[in-house]
Amino acid sequence: MDDLQRFFYTSPMVTTPTAAPPAVAVDSDPLGQILHLLRLTGTLYCRSELTAPWAIDMPPIEACMMFHVLIEGRAELVIDASVVELRRGSVTLVPHGRGHLMRSDEKAPVEGLFEISVEKVSDRYEVMRYGGGGASTRLLCGVMRFDHAAARQLIDALPPVIHVDAWEEDEGSWLQSTVRLLGREARELRPGGETVITRLADIVVVQMLRAWLESAPQATTGWLGALHHPQIGRAMACLHRDPARGWTVESLAQEVGMSRSAFAAHFREFVGESAMRYLTRWRLELARMELAEGHRTALAEIAEKVGYRSEPAFCRAFKREFGVSPGRVRSQA
């Protein structure tokens, strides 16, 4: 198995639910609908047992999110010349998969991630032991991919780093309790422990995203701000829920109780493009997602599923949007 395969396992997670979760009330919670659509695949976990001095260069991983849970000790995360201090209980997300440095201190010699040997416990779980023999730090790190088009747009709106100190939460808070349980499971991989860890990580990531969406000033502007708008958010949720429907500006305006002209102006103001352009992009992103998964579904069936009545029209629109044909995307899956 090569270095990239060692770092990123591409099979679907065992945490995929066997039954669909309950539907979200689309009219009342457009942001909740986006979180509902998050689908985690291709996750790898690494328990790191580190002793100072140590510094690890984490390479960029395109279209992925990385996370670090500091179980014991202290560390620093350096990204774009900014230093984030990590303490016991810290949970840090690097949403865009950007390269960054994890270290004990600024004087520690840096080693590339793929230059450090690991003990492979399973396809999704590894143990790394590395460092100079000084003060101990234990980390649980992971890489994950969000595959749904809604998730990708949400991730694009996030900052370079999201950081929370779980130990500053109340003793009985969801975050502190979950991080404590993650640490306990990571210390000794018991039967079923891998499944417990992956599911707990799901919870931590989604809860951190939800907390950020509820509190960050950035979440009130742009695409995220539009989802907060009572009428525009509902209209976007309708498009997300039923992209194949023959939507028009008039029908969307009627759906959310606005005049056609007021709706068109407000949608463009809050989202940054017209409702019909947004719908086109949404449909084609959904189609690209399905093609990239390598399914052998007929192009005509995919076209109809996302609202195109003819395969040629779908193929022309797809190539205009992405610069490649649907067949090429499928063949490269």
Q: What is the pLDDT of residues 44-65, one digit of tens each?
A: 888 899 999 999 999 998 878 8
pLDDT bin (cut points 50, 70, 90) of residue 4 is very low
Which of 195, 217, 239 lies at the terminal end of a domain, its last residue?
A: 217
Side chain identity, residue 75? A
284 near 322, Cβ under 8 Å?
yes
195 and 114 co-located in one domain: yes
Question: What pLDDT is attached to residue 147?
Answer: 67
Residue 207 lies in a domain: yes
Task: Please list the alpha-helical segments (H only) found in the chain.
Answer: 3-7, 30-37, 149-156, 174-187, 193-215, 222-228, 230-241, 249-256, 260-271, 275-292, 299-305, 311-322, 326-331
150 and 18 co-located in one domain: yes
- 48 or 33, greater pLDDT: 48
pLDDT bin (cut points 50, 70, 90) of residue 41 is low
Indicate which CATH number applies to the domain containing 200. Answer: 2.60.120.280
249 and 207 co-located in one domain: no
209 and 235 co-located in one domain: no
pLDDT bin (cut points 50, 70, 90) of residue 305 is very high
pLDDT in tens, 248-286: 999 999 999 999 999 999 999 999 999 999 999 999 999
Side chain identity, residue 233? G
Alpha-carbon gap, residue 201 to 167, rounded angstroms: 17
154 near 209, Cβ under 8 Å?
yes
Alpha-carbon gap, residue 331 to 322, rounded angstroms: 15
Question: What pLDDT is attached to residue 8?
Answer: 36
Question: What pLDDT is attached to residue 122?
Answer: 81
Coil, strand or helix at 25:
coil
Report the pLDDT averaged over residues 105-119: 96
86 and 116 co-located in one domain: yes
259 and 169 co-located in one domain: no
- 3 or 77, greater pLDDT: 77
Question: What pLDDT is attached to residue 24?
Answer: 39
DSSP letter at 91 equals E
What are φ and ψ of residue 250, in 5° steps? -60, -45
pLDDT in tens, 191-229: 777 778 778 877 888 778 877 877 778 777 788 888 888
Q: Which residues span the domain enclosing 272?
A: 229-331
Question: Dmax of the chain from CA atoms?
Answer: 69
Residue 98 lies in a domain: yes
DSSP letter at 23 equals P
Mean pLDDT of the chain: 83
6 near 212, Cβ under 8 Å?
no
Q: Which residue has the tokens 């799901």?
A: 202
171 near 213, Cβ under 8 Å?
no
Indicate which CATH number applies to the domain containing 305. Answer: 1.10.10.60
Q: What pairs with residue 162 in β-bridges? A: 93
Q: What pairs with residue 146 in β-bridges? A: 40
194 and 258 co-located in one domain: no
Alpha-carbon gap, residue 225 to 266, rounded angstroms: 12
Q: Is the pLDDT of residue 295 over 60?
A: yes
Evaluated on CA atoms 333, 209, 124, 193, the torsion sign reads negative
Q: Is the pLDDT of residue 25 over 50?
A: no
Question: What pLDDT is attached to residue 76?
Answer: 97
What are φ and ψ of residue 130, in 5° steps? -160, 150
- 324 or 188, greater pLDDT: 324
Residue 27 lies in a domain: yes
How many domains does the structure of the chain reveal? 2
Residue 104 lies in a domain: yes
Which of 168, 195, 217 lies at the terminal end of a domain, its last residue?
A: 217
Least confident of 14-28, 79-93, 159-173, 179-193: 14-28
Question: What pLDDT is attached to residue 178?
Answer: 84
Please provide the DSSP assignment of 103-169 as one string. Answer: ESSTTSPPEEGGGS--EEEETTEEEEEEESSSSEEEEEEEEEEE-SHHHHHHHHTS-S-EEEEGGGS
270 and 320 co-located in one domain: yes
Please count the other Cβ atoms lying within 10 Å of the Cβ belonging to residue 284.
Answer: 23
191 and 286 co-located in one domain: no
pLDDT in tens, 155-191: 888 899 999 887 666 655 777 788 888 878 877 767 7
Question: What pLDDT is attached to residue 187?
Answer: 73
Closest Cα to residue 134, out of 116, 112, 108, 113? 108
23 near 137, Cβ under 8 Å?
no
Q: Is the pLDDT of residue 316 over 50?
A: yes
91 and 213 co-located in one domain: yes
Residue 224 lies in a domain: no
314 near 297, Cβ under 8 Å?
no
Least confident of 6-10, 51-55, 93-97, 225-229: 6-10
Coil, strand or helix at 318:
helix
